[in-house]
Structure formats: structure tokens, C-alpha cells
Structure 1
Amino acid sequence: MTEAPGFIFYIIAFLLVIGPLVFVHELGHYAAGRWFGIKAEVFSIGFGREIGGITDKRGTRWKFGWLPLGGYVRFAGDMNPASQPSPEWLSLPAAERAQTFQAKPLWQRAIVVAAGPVTNFVVAILILAAFALAFGENRTPTVVAGVAAESAAAQAGLLKGDRITAIDGRGIETFNDLRRYIVMRPAETVELTVERDGAEVEMTAQIGVRVEKDRFGNEYKLGQLGVTPGEPVQVEIGLLGAIPAGLRMTGNVIQGTVDGLGQIITGRRSVEELGGPLRIAQVSGERFVMGPTDFAFLIALISINLGFINLLPVPVLDGGHLLFYAVEAVRRKPVEPQVMEWAFRGGMVAILALMLLVTFNDLGAFGVWRNLAGLIG
């Protein structure tokens, strides 16, 4: 077992991951706003009191906040959290008001808001496309080359030569598709669709469980079917095929995130698995030690999740703004300011509650609660 990196190393690795990803996210908002002629007053990496920054010739203050857990762009006219017109906004001179966020058409405001998460997805797609270009893409078919004795596959009745075409109605094409689905569902019951001798066969499998420990001592409970693939099929990806490959891999990560959230919501997976900044810092440090390839892949994963989370329809997040814009488009008038205000208050409470939960989980993963219980006992 490799000794885990030190605390300072965790922090440095965390900043190397989160800092650039927050920057490109906010840069997406900034670039879209500038394209539409909206003045940006502040571009901040981190929250809270400024610890350093500069003001450019356009009057934008580029700064760092002392709490490096996010960032923001404040456009001219952002005088309330919902970015709605206010008496203060109406009192601005016409020339200044024309450069504010509220003065722009609904479709332009929606693009500015969506540009942040979209930029995160673009970053991830480019990283994963580079991996596909460098290493190729594994397209080993789902033909069973071997079945482990007394495994979930053996008990379900899978045989050598069977081709698994779907699980729980979801079509699969490669062994990696099969592996991704199975590892997330330890001890669950799944329905397999199998092609055997030209006929379609349906069967039920109770996924097995295996516990793996990585080089840093972290344990993971994974699902196991008990089948082995045939000869690996690794396909070289050319320049034209790299972006589609990156898109496919990004889609797979998003699908896995949606599946994981669904399992937590339905109680099939413990809410304790939700991690926060401390867990991200831990993983960042470990992946940094493992080398640039693992670290770059982690950056892609976190970039995807940052984009995905920001698109959730929760007030305060980008997705919440987009939801209200969709309502505005349908109603042909903005949502009432008091409704927006209460919605954003509720969204802030929800986000703070989630942050407390994941921090509690992170401290538990680090053994803080166990050690406290030992001291009290």
C-alpha cells in the first residue's frame, strides 16, 4: 500500500483541479456576455474578501477571493440575485443600461447563463478526445469468452459464446459498456437480454459483490457479473474521430452520474457516498501522485460533473436561472420578483444543506467521527 499524500499536497492538487475549472466556467459566462455587449464589472475566482487582483482597461476587476470553492462574474446591472430589473436599474442612464445583463433579449441571457456549464463540457470533451487520439478506443464486443464458476453469470445461466445485447432494457455494444453498468450495481438484480444461437434469450442475474482496495488503502464495493471478454479490440482513433469519441465518453460519464444520483434517491446507494470539497481534495492528491494521465482524466471527470451540477434546475445555480427563463418564454413575461426572491432563498438553503451533508460525509470518510467517538468512549 502506498502512503497517502500529505495534507498540503492535497490542497495544492485540489487548487490545481478546481481553480482552472472554475476559471473556464466563469470565462464561458464572461465570453458570452462580452459577445453580446454586456459589461462585466467583476470576474472573481473564489468568494469572500479579495486577496489580490487587477482592473483591466474595460473596467472589469479580475480578482481572487480567500475562499477558493467557486467563482462568479458580476455583470453590469446585477443588482439582485435573480438579475431582474429594479428601480435602481431603471435609474441608470440609457447608454449604461444598454450594457447591462437585464437589457438583453431572453435568448441572449439564456446563452450567457448556459455558456459556463457548456464550457466545462467542452473542456472535458477535448481532454477525453485527446485520450482517444493517443490511446485509441476499446470496442471489445460483449461476447462471453468465459463464465466463472458459481458467479452471478453462472447462476443466471450465461454460457460461453453468448452475446449480451442489453441490461434492464438499456442497449450495450462493448464490454466497457457492460462493465460500467455492472460495477455500479453490487447485489442488485438485473434483467439481461442475450443473443444465443441466433435467438434472443431473457434471463435474470443477481449481481455479485467484490471489495477492492486501491494503493492508498481506499476500499470500494463493486458489482461483479463473472464473465470474461474475448480478445481485446482496440481501435485507433484518427483526428476526425477524436471529438466524437470524446463526446461518447462524456455521455457515458453523465449517464453514470445520473444513474448514481438515481440510486441515492431511491435508497439503493447510501447518501454517505456523496462527497464534497474534502473528498475531491483527497482524490486530487492521489491522482496527482499516480501521474499526469490519471490527473488529467480526473480533471475531465470533475469538469463534467461541475457542468452537470450547474445545470440542475435549482435556483442559485445556472440551471435555476434557465428554468425561470423557460417559464418566462412560455408566459411571455418574467416571473414575479417576489417569487424569484423566495425561490432563490430556498435554493440557497438547499445548497447550504447539501454542503453541510457532503462535508459531514467527508469528515466521516477521513475517520473524524470515529476518532471522536473513541475519545468520548
Structure 2
Amino acid sequence: MSFLIGYILPFILVLSLLVFVHEMGHYLVGRWSGIRILAFSVGFGPEIAGFTDRHGTRWKFSAIPLGGYVRFYGDGDASSKPDTDGLEAMSEDERARSFAGAKLWKRAATVAAGPIANFILAIAIFAVLFSIYGRQIIDPVVAEVKEGSAAAEAGVLPGDLLLAIDGYKVKTFDDVRRYVSVRPEMKIVVTVERNGERLDLSMVPQRTELTDQFGNKLEAGIIGIVTNQEMGNFRVQTYSPLEAIGEGAVQSWYIVTGTFDYLSNLVTGRMKADQLGGPIRVAQASGQMATLGVAAVLQLAAVLSVSIGLLNLMPVPVLDGGHLMFYAVEAIRGKPVGPAAQEIAFRIGLAMVLSLMVFATWNDISMLLG
């Protein structure tokens, strides 16, 4: 029972929120575009509970809480693959209210609205957290340089103020950590200020296995510098609601760039693929964050919301990005991609998504057993 309450329940609540917001983006823009909507489901599989509204849309919770869907009129299945036979049998008026019969820009807007809703949710969550709790700021001033570290070999000294890395300005110690952590074994140039003089110091972050407060292990690049209260001037910065929204957008963008940095490192072999997590790891993280309070759970939800938005924008058939790819081709060709080509593409896309899920789940199981 404690496992159910501590891990499974937070996981279901967080994921259901993210799925609901994502699908609500599709739903709202679809309704605004005049497309008839048959079903709005949080979860897949058999229906657990639901109701039908006055517009004929079936709202439901389904048994498998690992996603969701909005099914439009004319869809062949939950992935919005067109029902070719059904569309041919429709009258002109019926086809006009189907998803496939909508204008190209309306279909593209409806599909893009899901990931966009996830990004908006993340910004909103960060904005609320920053408005209520503020944000801890630590100046990028070095208090200690670890012996034998990349920073020590490059000549970094205690008291140095870090100004930029590879030309990108850094304002906080967290900016330094964020940039360095995803660049193990990659040459970087750190610009420091020392006694009023600017120095460019080249170094290569060392690949290091770190352990978080819950005992989870992860790899990251480090250069071996430490700060403290006296040098870093630890403080909590407060934000007005408008400033908090801007800062929420910045934090969401950091997650986007960090994700692409990780994927780039994955392709080039600088990062291991075992850090790709699936539902088990998300459930574990949800339970761990729940022990730290509501704010920690909300922060995790914001990170996952950006991740879901990005994942869905990948140009893979069955995902939103795959549909947008088809619409781009349609805009260029002046006509939709043929049904046979779409069928093949959807099967390939489904195989890719299922393979990724299996691989991520295997990583999760290996993590638990290891």
C-alpha cells in the first residue's frame, strides 16, 4: 500500500495532468476549427469511467495511464490515421467536419496545439513556483578548485569570477553547472575575471558518475570548482508575476537545449544511452519528489511537460511531429500524401515508438536490478 501511495499515485497524477493538458490543446483548437470530436481520453485501453457531452464527444478515463488521445471525426484510430473508406462514404457536409476534410492550416494548428500546450503548462508551473518561492541565486565565483581537476589544470584560481563559457554569458553558478554537465570530454573555453583582468582558459570537463540525494546515479561533465556562501552570495531572488513568466520561459528553454545537448552527446557516444528512462523511472522520480513536497512534484511536472512536448514534435509518424511532417509535404506537393504511403509510414513510426519504449523500460529494469 505504501508503494502504491508513494510511487504509483504521484506518477498517475503527474502523467494524467500532462496528458490532459496536451490533449486539451488538440481539443480546443480542433473545436475552434470546426472539427467534430468523437472522444477525449486520458489513458489507453478499456474505458474505466466517462460521459458524453452535448456535442457528442465521449470524455473518458481509460485503463492504461501511459498517454491519451483525442479522436476526431474521420480518424481511423487513436493516432489520427485517416479512415479512408469512411471518408469516401461521407457526404460533403460530413467530410467538412472531419479532421481530414479540414483546411491544411487548421489541421496543422490542431496537431501543433498539443505540444504547445505542454510548453505553456511548463512555463506556467515555473512561473507559479518563482512567484511563490522565488529562486535561489548563487554568483559564479570560485571558492575552491579541486586538485587534479580540469579547472586546476587550466589555471582557475579561488576568487575568479566566471563571466562566460564558449562566449555564452553566465550569470549564476547554476548556469555554469548546466553548461558543463552536458559537455563531458569536450573542450570548452571559460572566461574569468581576475583582479580586473579577463582571461580565457581552455579545459575539458571530466566525465564523472554522480549520485543524487536519492541514490540515483548519473553521468555528467565537471570541471572541479566549488563555491560557498561567502563567495557565491547565496540569496533568494523574488519575481513579480510578469517577471516569473519570463523566467519560466527561460527555464523551459534550458530544458529544451539540455535535451538536444544530451541527444547530440548520445549520437556521438559521449553519453550513455542508459540514462534514457521510461515509465518506471518516471514513477520512481514522482515518488521521490513527492517526499520533498508539492513544489518538487510541480517542478518535475514542468520538466516532464517540456519533454513530452519535445517528444511529440519529433518527425516520427504516429507522433504529432510526424503529422506535421506530412502536412509540410502536402503544402509543397499541393496534395496529401497517398494512403498507402501513410499506412507504411505509420507502421514504421509505431515500430520506432514501441522500440524506444521497450528500450527505455529495459533501462529502467536494469537500473532497479543493478
User: For residues 81 and 218 of structure 2, what CA distance do their matches in structure 1 show?
Assistant: 43
Q: Which residue of 2 aligns with 1:374?
A: none
The answer to whether the 8 Å contact 2:184/2:270 transfers is no
Letter matched to residue 271 of structure 2: R
**So what's the TM-score if we normalise by structure 2?**
0.90
With 233-242 and 291-300 compared, the bigger mean Cα shift is at: 233-242
Letter matched to residue 259 of structure 1: D
Other structure's SS at 2:232 match: coil
Q: Which residue of 1 aligns with 2:109?
A: 111
User: For residues 364 and 321 of structure 1, what CA distance do their matches in structure 2 show?
Assistant: 34
User: For residues 187 and 17 of structure 1, what CA distance do their matches in structure 2 show?
Assistant: 35
User: For residues 187 and 272 of structure 2, what CA distance do their matches in structure 1 show?
Assistant: 17
The answer to whether residue 49 in structure 2 is matched with residue 52 in structure 1 is: yes
Shift of 1:190: 2.9
With 94-103 and 21-30 compared, the bigger mean Cα shift is at: 94-103
The answer to whether the 8 Å contact 2:163/2:170 transfers is yes
Other structure's SS at 1:70 match: strand
User: For residues 209 and 68 of structure 1, what CA distance do their matches in structure 2 show?
Assistant: 36
With 336-345 and 65-74 compared, the bigger mean Cα shift is at: 336-345
Q: Which residue of 2 aligns with 1:13?
A: 10
Other structure's SS at 1:100 match: coil
Query: C-alpha root-mean-square deviation of aligned residues, in Å?
Result: 2.3
Shift of 1:161: 4.7
Instruction: Give the unaligned 5+ runs of structure 1.
Output: 371-377
Q: Which residue of 1 aligns with 2:292?
A: 290
Q: Which residue of 2 aligns with 1:259?
A: 261
User: For residues 89 and 217 of structure 2, what CA distance do their matches in structure 1 show?
Assistant: 60
2:237 to 223, 230, 235: 235
Other structure's SS at 1:281 match: helix
Q: Which residue of 1 aligns with 2:32?
A: 35
The answer to whether residue 68 in structure 2 is matched with residue 66 in structure 1 is: no
The answer to whether the 8 Å contact 1:117/1:307 transfers is yes
| Superposition pairs of residues 87-102 of structure 1, within 5 angstroms | 87-102=85-100
Instruction: Give the unaligned 5+ runs of structure 2.
Output: none
User: For residues 208 and 344 of structure 2, what CA distance do their matches in structure 1 show?
Assistant: 46
User: For residues 85 and 12 of structure 1, what CA distance do their matches in structure 2 show?
Assistant: 36
The answer to whether residue 334 in structure 2 is matched with residue 337 in structure 1 is: no
User: For residues 86 and 303 of structure 1, what CA distance do their matches in structure 2 show?
Assistant: 33
Shift of 1:126: 0.5
Shift of 1:338: 1.8
User: For residues 367 and 347 of structure 2, what CA distance do their matches in structure 1 show?
Assistant: 30
The answer to whether the 8 Å contact 1:82/1:341 transfers is no
Shift of 1:215: 4.2
Q: Which residue of 1 aligns with 2:176?
A: 178
With 178-187 and 128-137 compared, the bigger mean Cα shift is at: 178-187
With 262-271 and 195-204 compared, the bigger mean Cα shift is at: 195-204
The answer to whether the 8 Å contact 1:120/1:303 transfers is yes
User: For residues 341 and 302 of structure 1, what CA distance do their matches in structure 2 show?
Assistant: 30
User: For residues 60 and 155 of structure 1, what CA distance do their matches in structure 2 show?
Assistant: 65
2:309 to 292, 307, 310: 307
Other structure's SS at 2:291 match: helix
Distance of aligned partners of 1:362 and 1:107 in 2 relative to their CA distance in 1, 3 Å threshold: same
Letter matched to residue 184 of structure 1: V
| Superposition pairs of residues 343-362 of structure 1, within 5 angstroms | 343-362=345-364
Q: Which residue of 2 aligns with 1:218?
A: 216
Shift of 1:159: 2.9
Letter matched to residue 97 of structure 1: R
Q: Which residue of 2 aligns with 1:318?
A: 320
User: For residues 217 and 145 of structure 1, what CA distance do their matches in structure 2 show?
Assistant: 27
The answer to whether the 8 Å contact 2:276/2:360 transfers is yes
User: For residues 123 and 176 of structure 1, what CA distance do their matches in structure 2 show?
Assistant: 23
Shift of 1:303: 0.8
Other structure's SS at 2:44 match: strand
Distance of aligned partners of 1:214 and 1:174 in 2 relative to their CA distance in 1, 3 Å threshold: closer
User: For residues 88 and 209 of structure 1, what CA distance do their matches in structure 2 show?
Assistant: 56
Other structure's SS at 1:6 match: helix
Shift of 1:29: 0.5
User: For residues 181 and 188 of structure 2, what CA distance do their matches in structure 1 show?
Assistant: 12
User: For residues 364 and 36 of structure 1, what CA distance do their matches in structure 2 show?
Assistant: 46
Letter matched to residue 345 of structure 2: A
Q: Which residue of 2 aligns with 1:373?
A: none
The answer to whether the 8 Å contact 1:138/1:176 transfers is no
The answer to whether the 8 Å contact 1:40/1:75 transfers is yes
Distance of aligned partners of 1:7 and 1:183 in 2 relative to their CA distance in 1, 3 Å threshold: farther
The answer to whether the 8 Å contact 1:287/1:298 transfers is yes
The answer to whether the 8 Å contact 1:82/1:340 transfers is no
Q: Which residue of 2 aligns with 1:157?
A: 155
Shift of 1:133: 1.5
The aligned length equals 364
Q: Which residue of 2 aligns with 1:121?
A: 119
